[in-house]
A = this chain, B = another copy of it.
Amino acid sequence: MAKSNDNGFHSITWEDDHLRVIDQTFLPSREIYTNLNTTGQVWEAIKNMKVRGAPAIGIAAAYGLYLGARDIRESGFESFYLEIERLKEYLESSRPTAVNLQWALNRIMTTIQAHKEKEISELKDIILQTAQTIHDEDERLCKSIGENGLEIVPDEAHILTHCNTGALATSKFGTAFSVIWHAHRENKVKTVWVDETRPLLQGARLTAWELKKEEIPFKLITDSTAGFLMQQGLVDLVIVGADRIAANGDTANKIGTYNLAVLANAHDIPFYVAAPYSTIDLSIENGEAIPIEERDTAEVTKIGSKEIAPAKIEVYNPAFDVTPQHLITGFITDNGLIRPDYKKNLGNFSSREVSMKK
């Protein structure tokens, strides 16, 4: 269960009795690690984006459930399970859009149910083991995503990506970032266009930081520069991650993803979504049913402590948007490349995992 990372840093590690995460709100200027000892601390870390990225949130939440579970004093299964359900709902409230969070917690709930005859202390161990399994699986999944994405990257590729989908957002390698990382190892990457991803600047702060560490050639741009680059023929493909994929392929991801999908479509540029299977939510027919988290206005009006807008104004700050399936060229998953018809092909692909979901 090696969690060491080629990048020389660990975004999430389990250390015997607590979770240790890199606090992403301090990047890129400072590399600070934080220990999380309680469910509440994990909730706060997810809410305030110390831990972020759909897969990383799922992993952290799974450990977060264990951190709460180990302190439960109930001895009967029913009352123990009731407490666990309460912890689960609490953790789910930290980021409503990312389905991996729900997926990871549901998987633990299903596993507990399957062992309801066991002692409470054993159940607690099972929760921790399941969290660790989710963690390990994610690393393998991310590696597969990167390898499976190689075929869609042309030589001398100019790749545009959005937000952060790297090792920081996952256990290792990342999702969209994993494709870039693996393509770079094969000398296929000419340059990566990293958009800054306002308001929280995950591109400028985190993706730029990871690419620099990996010595992958890149240039930072503002989010508004994407269309101009495409118009000039400077983008060969766009690869983004996903927070939730509906059964028909509609995809929720960081705000601005939809802009890029429309722009790519207008310029006949391939637009790919890279994601592990836990991001696919077959219970949701299409994107209209995906809840969109609206975040604090201060994310837009302040950068750090600096006010960049007049005081007391109205702000609209949705954290995600939904890209309709017809704008997506393909999904790069751990199980291979998925092309349209998504309604048919996403269902087939994830059917083996459906039993793990609620």
Contacts and interface: CB of A to CB of B under 8 A. Distances in A.
A199 B220 contact: no
Interface in A275-327: 300-301, 303-304, 306-310, 313-318, 321-322
B204 A321 contact: no
Interface string A258-288: 1100110110000000000000000000000
A20 interface: no
Given A196-B198, A196-B309, A220-B316, A301 B259 contact: no
A219 B306 contact: no
Interface string A215-226: 001111111111
Nearest to A255: B224
Contacts of A303: 303-304, 306, 308
A212 interface: yes
Nearest to A292: B228
Contact of A310 (B208, B223, B225, B317): B208
Given A198-B196, A221-B300, A231-B321, A208 B262 contact: no
A356 interface: no
A300, A309, A317 — which one has the most chain B CB atoms within 10 A of its CB?
A309
A301 B209 CA distance: 12
A149 interface: no
Contacts of A228: 255, 258-259, 318, 321
Given A198-B198, A204-B301, A263-B259, A28 B218 contact: no
Contacts of A322: 231
Give the number of times this chain occurs in the complex, counting copies.
Answer: 2
29 contacts: A198-B223, A204-B301, A208-B313, A209-B310, A218-B313, A218-B314, A219-B314, A220-B300, A220-B309, A221-B300, A221-B317, A222-B223, A222-B300, A222-B317, A223-B223, A224-B259, A225-B256, A225-B317, A225-B321, A228-B258, A228-B259, A229-B316, A231-B321, A262-B262, A263-B263, A265-B266, A303-B303, A303-B308, A306-B306
What are the 8 tightest A-B residue pairs by CB atom distance, in nearest-first order? A224-B256, A227-B259, A228-B321, A198-B222, A204-B309, A28-B310, A227-B258, A219-B314
